[in-house]
């Protein structure tokens, strides 16, 4: 893990970027950092991290088996952050607009999402996708 490039596209190594978040050694300092780490969790099949970083009230509907199957069936090819609003260390809420590219059944797909994040007790959580 020390020299592998981080899947989130930051240009840093996994160990100096999303790795400490995915392993539970650190929490995301910003909404964007959490969004990037969640993308990396899909790439690395760290489904428990996806559940742990969901807003607590939204965890009951999370299907770990289906999420793992979907993540395994796709080949993740890149993440582009398009816009960030709020979500800094002093904020309590923020949004991140991003595009994640992946290959599924031999076709390239783009998932574009405006995500809402909220901080509780000093920790960022993914709340929901906001309809565009």
User: Per residue in 86-125, pLDDT tens?
Assistant: 999 999 999 999 999 999 999 999 999 999 999 999 999 9
Calculate the average pLDDT of the chain: 95
Spatial contact of 6 and 12, defined as CB atoms under 8 Å apart: yes
Rounded to 10 degrees, the C-alpha dihedral 102/45/3/84 comes to 60
User: Smallest Cα–Cα separation from 122: which of 28, 7, 1, 10?
Assistant: 28
Q: Which of 2-11, 15-24, 32-41, 42-51 has the lowest mean pLDDT?
A: 2-11
User: Smallest Cα–Cα separation from 124: which of 51, 53, 23?
Assistant: 53
CA of 69: how far to CAs of 8, 59, 74, in Å? 20, 18, 9
Q: Which CATH class is domain 14-130?
A: alpha beta
pTM of structure: 0.94
């Amino acid at each position: 893990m020390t020299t592998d490039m981080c899947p989130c596209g930051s240009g840093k190594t996994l160990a100096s970027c999303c790795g400490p978040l995915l392993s539970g050694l650190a929490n995301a300092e910003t909404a964007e950092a959490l969004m990037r780490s969640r993308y990396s969790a899909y790439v690395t099949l760290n489904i428990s991290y996806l559940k742990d970083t969901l807003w607590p009230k939204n965890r009951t509907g999370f299907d770990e088996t289906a999420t793992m199957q979907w993540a395994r069936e796709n080949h993740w090819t890149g993440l582009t952050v398009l816009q960030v609003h709020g979500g800094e260390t002093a904020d309590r809420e923020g949004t991140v607009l991003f595009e994640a590219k992946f290959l599924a059944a031999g076709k390239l797909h783009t998932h574009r999402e405006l995500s809402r994040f909220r901080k509780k007790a000093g920790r960022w959580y993914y709340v929901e996708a906001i309809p565009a």
